[in-house]
Structure 1
């Protein structure tokens, strides 16, 4: 849920206009930021506490050169979850079932060429799917979790190139790409191909 969706949900719950709900939300967030950056905590009962905390100066190491460098003292924002909020989070049952997978757009290649072949797959779940997990275990979009096999020993891991949420926001529609066998789609690549989802 993004800020606009949250404002719309508030408007529906309070039976007020969307503009008023959006403005209420923006003013609330800005006030929290204003108070916290004046070094005063904001305590919201049943939710948590926003505050600033100081970080002492320290020495870091450059990942490029391995050379040490000084990191000056600075402030950082912190949030401590309220006990009631934490208990509600911990009470949510874990989703241990795998999502279902359905090909959405798989078409024939009717002309020779060397461009990748794109196909679309829909991941569905009754609770929801974390977008960053698409593409392989604990990986971001672009990693490999779908294998395509076909004639003449074709065996290639497809690369996820784009993802978008389904209408109910619980699933994901993902576009994958595979390269042409031998660098070109021609008559030698004719045949039936199979798409398999790899286990996490």
Structure 2
């Protein structure tokens, strides 16, 4: 929920106009900010306390060069959640449903070449996908999380090459790469290839893992006699 959506919810709850609700919200937030920045805490019963606190000067280390540098003293904002608010949050039932997986961009191969084949897979969840489990990092054997099988005994673990957050900020769109059989896509590789997610590799932020499943298929249909590039 963003600020506009919150203002609309207030308008509906109080049965007032949207302009009045938006103005009320903006004045309230500005009053909290202006009070806190005079070093006076704002305590909202049942919600929490807004305040600012000093941070003493310190010496940091540059991650790029390893050289020390001085960090000056500064103020920082803080929020301490109220006990009643905390108890309501902790009472929310834990999400126990597994994420879902769906095919993204999966196209057929119709021309010879020696480059990897790229396809995308989308992972979705109501809470959020744990990004560190994508690409096989969870596997004790160091295996990757998606396998491609096909004609002539083709069996290859793919590599995640790119991860992008979905529009709702909870899912991930992952680009995978699979190498060509024998190093080249040509007519000898023709046939249907199956993309499978491996068991218990990708999870959401609550630790619910996806079961193994077939994500999709692609076909290699290169004219006979075509050689590799």
TM range (shorter): 0.5 to 0.7
Structure 1, unpaired ranges of 5+:
none
RMSD, aligned CA:
4.8
Structure 2, unpaired ranges of 5+:
200-229
User: How many residues are aligned here?
Assistant: 199
CA distance in 2, matches of 1:27, 1:132: 41
* Structure 1 contact 53–75 (Cα < 8 Å) conserved: yes
User: 2:25 is paired with a residue of what secondary structure?
Assistant: helix
- Structure 1 stretch displaced more, 61-70 or 48-57: 61-70
CA distance in 1, matches of 2:141, 2:179: 18
User: 1:77 is paired with a residue of what secondary structure?
Assistant: strand
Cα 1:70–1:162 shift into 2, 3 Å? closer
TM-score, scaled to structure 2: 0.61
* Structure 2 contact 149–156 (Cα < 8 Å) conserved: yes
Deviation at 1:40, TM superposition (A): 1.3
Structure exhibiting the larger radius of gyration computed from Cα positions: 2
Cα 1:50–1:176 shift into 2, 3 Å? farther
- Structure 1 stretch displaced more, 142-151 or 13-22: 142-151
Q: Which residue of 1 aligns with 2:211?
A: none
Deviation at 1:59, TM superposition (A): 1.7
User: 2:13 is paired with a residue of what secondary structure?
Assistant: helix
* Structure 2 contact 147–156 (Cα < 8 Å) conserved: yes
CA distance in 1, matches of 2:27, 2:184: 57
- Trace 1:1-200 onto structure 2 (pairs within 5 A): 1-103=1-103, 106-112=106-112, 119-125=119-125, 145-151=145-151, 185-199=185-199
TM-score, scaled to structure 1: 0.67
CA distance in 2, matches of 1:66, 1:165: 31
CA distance in 2, matches of 1:27, 1:44: 16
Any idea what the Cα deviations from partners look like across 1:29-70, whole Å, max 9, x if unmatched? 233222212211111111111110001112222223333222
Structure having greater relative contact order (Cα 8 Å, sep ≥ 6): 2
